Amino acid sequence: PEIIKAVFEKYHPQVVFHAAAYKHVPMLEHFPYEALRVNISGTLCVAKFAGIYDAERFVLISTDKAVNPSSIMGASKRVCELFLHTLSNQGSYKTLFTSVRFGNVLGSRGSVIPTFNRQIESGGPVTITDAAMTRYFMSIPEAVNLILHAACLTKGDDIYMLKMGEVVGIVELAERMIRMRGLGPNIDIPIKYTGI
C-alpha cells in the first residue's frame, strides 16, 4: 500500500486503468490465497487510493469469467466488480468506478492461440479442458477501444462488455490450427482433454 500511495501522491493520475491481476485459472485453483492477495486486495488498494486522491475515473480490467464464476480466478474478479459497485454507491469518492469484461484477446499473453501454437510446434498434445469449451475472441485494437470507451462513457458503477459476435468452439479452433500446418488432428497431433 505504501508504494501505491506514493505513486498517487506524486502523480495524481486522472484516469487509472487497473489491469494487474493473476489470470492463470489452473494456477489460482492451486493457490487460491494468491487470487485473494493479488486480485482482490490489489484492486481494493488501488481503487481506494484512486478515490482518496480524486482520480476522475478508475477502469478495472475484468473478465468474462466473472459471469457466474466457476473458478477462483473468475470469482476473484467478480468480487472486484462488486467492490467497485460498493465504492460507487457509498458516495465517499468523486471517482467514477467502472469495469470492462474481456473475452480472449488474440495475440495477448493469455490467449489460447500462442499456447496451441507452442503445443503444435512441440508435437503435441494440444490440451483442452473440455470438449464443450467455447470462447469469444477479440483483437488487441478492439480491446484497447473497449477500455477507452469505458473510460470516456462511464457515469460510474458500470460494467462494459464488447459485443464479440459468435462463440468459437475450442476443439474446432485447435483442429483448424493443426490442419493449417498440414497435420491431422488426433493423427499427427493428439488432442488431450484435461478437465475443467
Pairwise CA distance, residues 8 & 52, whole Å:
9
Say what the pLDDT of residue 102 is.
81
> To 5 degrees, how large is the angle CA 38–CA 40–CA 45?
85
Annotation says 65 is catalytic:
yes
CA-based radius of gyration for the chain: 19
pLDDT, tens digit (0-9, with 9 covering 90-100), for 78-98: 999 999 999 999 988 999 999
Torsion of CA 142, 42, 10, 98, to 10 degrees: 40
Q: Name the 3-class secondary structure at 151.
A: helix
Q: Annotated catalytic residue: which of 65, 77, 94, 155?
A: 65
Rounded mean pLDDT, 62-79: 91
Between 12 and 112, whose confidence is greater? 12
* Of the listed ranges 7-16, 48-57, 79-88, 155-164, the one predicted with least confidence: 155-164
Q: What is the pTM of this model?
A: 0.83
Paired sense of beta strands 104-105 and 96-102, if any: unpaired
pLDDT, tens digit (0-9, with 9 covering 90-100), for 110-147: 778 888 999 999 999 999 989 998 888 888 888 899 89
Size (the chain), residues: 196
Confidence of residue 63 (pLDDT cuts 50, 70, 90): confident
